[in-house]
Amino acid sequence: MNINENLLYTVEHEWISVEGNKGRIGISDYAQHHLGDIVYVELPEIEGSAAMGESIGVIESVKAVASMYSPVGGTVLEVNEELESAPELLNEDCYENWVAVIEISDPSEVDMLLDAKAYAAFCATLD
C-alpha cells in the first residue's frame, strides 16, 4: 500500500493536500485498491458547500459503490472533470488524480486529520 507522506488522511480513506486556505482532495491507495476497477465517479458540485465528513460524491467500481467524504468543511472550487470520462485514472495514480479542490472554511479541522504515519497504523488494523 502506497501512502504519500505529504498528505493528511481521514479514516474513510480520503486524502487532502492543504495549501493556504485551499485543499485538494482525493481517495487513498487503500481505497482504490479495495474498490477495485473504478468505473464511475460522481463529482461534487462546484460552489457547493460541504461539512467535514459529509458525502460530496460517489465512486463506483466493479465491486462496490462508495461515498466520498469531505475531509474538511468548505466550498467546492474546482473538480477534476477528467474523471467523468476516465474514472480509471484513480486506479492508475490516486494521488496524482485528485477529485476536488475545496476552500477550507475552518482551518482548525485540518488538525483533526491523520498524518501519514497515523493513517498507516489505522490501515494496519483493518486487514
> In terms of residues, how long is the chain?
127
- Say yes or no to pLDDT of 127 above 80: no
CA distance 20 to 63: 37
pLDDT tens-digit series, residues 74-107: 999 999 999 999 999 999 999 999 999 999 999 9
Helix (H, G, I), strand (E, B) or coil at 67: strand
Quick check: 30 pLDDT over 80?
yes
Tell me the pTM: 0.95
- Domain map of the chain by residue range? 8-107
Q: Which residue in the block uniquely carries the three cell numbers 476552500? A: 103
SS3 122: helix
CATH 1.10.1040.10 is held by the domain 8-107: no
Judged on CB neighbours under 10 Å (0-12, 13-18, 19+), 23 is buried
Which class for 125: exposed (0-12), middle (13-18), buried (19 or more C-beta within 10 A)? exposed
